[in-house]
Amino acid sequence: MTKVKICGITNLDDALLAAHAGADALGFIFYKKSPRYIAPKSAKKIIDALPPFVQAVGVFVNHSPDEINRICRTTGISIVQEHSDAMSVKDVRKISARVLKVFRVGSDFDVKQAEQFYRQTGVSRFLFDAFHDKLLGGTGVQIDTQRAARIAKNVSKFGYAVFAGGLNAENVQSMVQVVQPYGVDVSSGVEKRVGKKDAKKVRLFIERAKSV
C-alpha cells in the first residue's frame, strides 16, 4: 500500500485530521522563507500530540547539520527531508536522523544522481519533486507520470521513491497506478488556503492514494 505524507502542517487540527485519516507521515517546514514555515517550538507541541506510528518529517533548506540535529532533538522529528544541493557527503553523514533526500526533477535530471548519492552516503530514501525555478515545493507542478514511473522503477533497485508536485485527490489514484511509488507527498493540493488544510481533500487524497 502506498505511503502518504501530508506536508506543510502548521497547526494541531490539521495534524490530527491527517493522522486520523490515515497519513503515514506529516511534514513540518523549517525553511523561514516558506509561507508554510513553522517554528520548532510550535512543531514540538504538535508532534507531542500525534498518535503512535505517525512519522514526523522536518523539511530543511540550507541548514547546517548542527542546526538540523538541534531542531530534531528539540521537536522529535524522526526523518530529515533534505533540500540543500550544496550539502557535502561528509555533512550528510553528520545528520543523526534518517534522511529523505530531495531531487528536483527538471529537464537535466538523471536518476543516476540518486544512485550516486546512495553509493556515497548510504541514504536510500528519495523524494522527487517537480522543478520550479523560484519555488521549493508547494508549486502545484506535476512530474510527467511516465517519467516518474521510469524513475520509480530504477530507484526500486537500491532505494525508495516518494513523489511530490501537483498531486491532488483528482489525480493521485491514476498517478499511483502508473508510477507505483513507495509513497506520495502533498501540500498545496489538499489546502483550502496556504497553511490550512481542507478536511475533505485530505481524506479523499489519502483514501485514493491507498486504494490502488
Residues annotated as part of the active site: 7, 129
CA dihedral 97, 100, 101, 102 (to 10 degrees): -140
DSSP 3-state percent helix, strand, coil across the chain (nearest 5): 35, 25, 40
**DSSP SS3 for 165:** coil
Q: What gap in Å lies between CA 117 and CA 112, rounded to an integer?
A: 8
Contact 79, 98 (CB under 8 A): yes
Q: What gap in Å lies between CA 87 and CA 47, rounded to an integer?
A: 27
| C-alpha grid cell, residue 49 | 500530540
